[in-house]
Amino acid sequence: MSSPNTERLREELTKIDDQHERITSIIDFLLCSFAQDLPIADLQEKLKELINLLHTHFTDENSLFSQYGYPQMTSHMQEHKAIFEEINAQYQLIKRGEKTLSPILADHFKYLEDCHIANADKAFLDYFRQKLTV
Ligand SMILES: [Fe+2]
Ligand SMILES: [Fe+2]
């Protein structure tokens, strides 16, 4: 029989997994659009969706760390801040029409997918899921 706290943590982890899937799907769409002639309005709209989702997602992960305690909380939260600032700075340029998708933005996306989500996020998800099994 699991406690309400355990159940809540399980639900939080599932929510984080779902957010990762949505983030990955938007990033994959944007990376594919590098090779295509995506209308600027569609690009801006998709990026806005990503920025909003990232804001919610990083806030949710940060609050999970504070609520349940995570040893790498400080460095992980600093990484969220840096990633968000970098992607948001590129988005602001694109929103003002000063720039279109660039290799810099593609590098930030790849870092987010291949380094942050695949490694740092996997590490905390494994950490909490292990706690659920003991
Ligand atoms: Fe994440
Ligand atoms: Fe994260």
Chain segment 5-42, per-residue pLDDT in tens: 899 999 999 999 999 999 999 999 998 887 777 788 88
Name the closest ligand to CA 80.
2
Name the closest ligand to CA 77.
2
Nearby residues of 132 by Cβ (< 8 Å), 6 or more positions away? 6, 9, 10, 13
Full residue range of the structural domain in which residue 69 is found: 4-133
Q: How many domains does the chain have?
A: 1
The string of pLDDT tens digits covering residues 57-93 is 999 999 999 999 999 999 999 999 999 999 999 999 9
- Between the CA of 39 and the centroid of ligand 2 the distance, in Å, is 30
CA-to-CA dists, residue 8 to 5, 11, 57, 125, 132, angstroms? 5, 5, 17, 14, 11
Instruction: Provide the CATH number for the domain around residue 61.
Output: 1.20.120.50
- Between the CA of 58 and the centroid of ligand 2 the distance, in Å, is 6
Q: Report residues near ion ligand 2: CB below 5 Å.
A: 61, 121
Widest pairwise Cα distance in the chain: 57
